[in-house]
Amino acid sequence: MSPDRPAGTRLRRLRRTPALREAVAESRLTAGNLIEPVFVRPGGGPPEAIPSMPGVHRRSPADAASWAAGAVEDGVGAVLLFGLPRKKDARGREAASPDSAVATAIRELRARRPDALVITDVCLCAYTTHGHCGILRGGEVDNEATLPALARVAVAHARAGADLVAPSAMMDHQVAALREALDSAGFSRVGILGYSAKYASAFYGPFREAADSAPAEGDRRGYQLDVRNAREALREIASDIAEGADLVMVKPALPSLDILARARARFDVPIAAYQVSGEYAMLKAAGARGWLDEPRAAREALAAIRRAGADLIITYYARAIAREDRDAR
Ligand code: PBG
C-alpha cells in the first residue's frame, strides 16, 4: 500500500447503494421541516396567479384557510401567512385590524385544523401607501414610531390564533417590543420567529409583486442588512435572541449559506432559512426553459440549506415536496 493510499479509507464504499447512502445521510429534507408561505387578500373569488411565481397565488381568506389546511394535511410543518389590505394608508393601520384578511384566514384555518402550526409575517410594507416596512417621519423610517405599530399587528395575529409571529421589518428592538406587547395582552404562550438576519436583497422582487409591497420611493437599505456583511448578521441574531426570539431566521437562504453555517455553530436556538421568491423564480424560470431539471435543482438547493444548518426552511416548494414524499410512500 503506497503512503498516499492509506488502507481502509475508501469513501466510495458508503455510496454504493441507495440503502447505504440513506443510512449515512448527514441531513434530511423532510416536509415537517418545511414552511409554506400563503398570500391572503381581502374579498372572495378564485385564487389569483402571480406571474413571476408560477404555482403561487393570492387567495381570499376562505381559500387561504382551506389551502393552508390542505398543506398541513399533506405534511408541511407550518404555514406562514402574508396579508394584503383592502385599503393602504401612511401608517398601515389595517395590518392590526381584527378583520384584516390575515386575521380572518387564521380564524378560519384554526376552525378547520386546530392543530396546524400557524405563523404570521408582521410588517407594514404591504399596508402602507409608501411601501416601507415602518412609519415615515421626515422621509425616513422612524424606528421608535414603528415599534408600537408592529406590536399591535402581532397582538392582533395572536388574538386571531397565531402560534408564532414573525417580525420582518428589521427595526431595532422589534423583538423586545413584540414580546412585551404579547405578554401584557395575555399571549405569553405565543412565540416569536425573528427575521433576524434579513439582507437588503434583489431576490425579494417577485414577492413584492405578490404582496404589492415595493417601496414607492427609495429602497430598504436603511433597515435591512448590507449584503457585504457577515459579522453584522451574527450581531443581529444575537440581539434578537437576547430580546427573546424563540427562533431566528436567515434570509435569503441560498445566498446566505455562510451565515447559516456560522449561526448554527454559534447559537443554540432553532434556525429557519427563507428560500425567497427570487430563488424560487430562478428555479421555475430555468425549469420552464428546460435549462435545469427543476425538481432536482430545487431539492438540491433545499438540501444545501439544511446541510448549512437550517432546522426549518420557508419555501414555496413546501407543499409540492410534501405531496411528492407522501405519494412516494
Ligand atoms: C416583508 C417581507 C418581505 C419578504 C418577506 N417578508 C419583502 C421585503 O422585505 O421587501 C420577502 C419574501 C420573499 O421574497 O419571498 N417585509
Of 86, 43, 82, 46, nearest to 61 (Cα)? Answer: 43
Classify the phi-psi angles of 247: left when phi > 0, otherwise alpha if psi is within -120 to 50, otherwise beta.
beta
pTM for the model: 0.96
**DSSP labels, 142-194:** -HHHHHHHHHHHHHHHHHHT-SEEEE-S--TTHHHHHHHHHHHTT-TTSEEEE
Instruction: Flag whether pLDDT at 2 surpasses 80.
Output: no
Q: How far is the C-alpha of 22 from the C-alpha of 12, rounded, in Å? A: 14
User: What is the per-residue pLDDT for 84?
Assistant: 97
* Confidence grade of residue 329 (pLDDT, cut at 50, 70, 90): confident
**Cell 386571531, residue located:** 160
Per residue in 73-89, pLDDT (tens digit) is 999 999 999 999 999 99
| Number of neighbouring beta carbons within 10 Å of residue 215 | 15
Q: What distance in angstroms lies between residue 325's CA and the mean position of ligand 1's atoms?
A: 28
Nearest residue by C-alpha to atom 2 in ligand 1: 168
* Residue in 120, 128, 171, 204 to alter for ligand 1 test, most ligand atoms within 8 A of Cβ: 204
Q: Is 207 in the pocket of ligand 1 (CB under 6 A)?
A: yes
Determine the atom of ligand 1 nearest the C-alpha atom of 207.
14
In CATH, the number for domain 27-328 is 3.20.20.70
- Tell me if 127 CB under 6 Å of ligand 1: no
**pLDDT of 3:** 60
Q: What is the pLDDT of residues 102-119, one digit of tens each?
A: 999 999 999 999 999 999
Residues with active-site annotation: 198, 251
From start to end of the chain, where are the E strands? 34-40, 48-49, 57-59, 78-83, 118-122, 136-137, 140-141, 164-167, 191-198, 247-251, 271-275, 312-315
The three grid cell numbers given for residue 41, joined into one nine-digit string: 387578500
Q: Does the beta carbon of 323 sit less than 6 angstroms from any atom of ligand 1?
A: no
Q: How many residues comprise the chain?
A: 329
- pLDDT of 1 over the 60 cut: no
The answer to whether residue 167 scores a pLDDT higher than 80 is: yes
Ligand 1 contact via 121 beta carbon (within 6 Å): yes
Q: How many helices (H) and strands (E) does the chain have?
A: 11, 12
249 lines ligand 1 (CB under 6 A): no
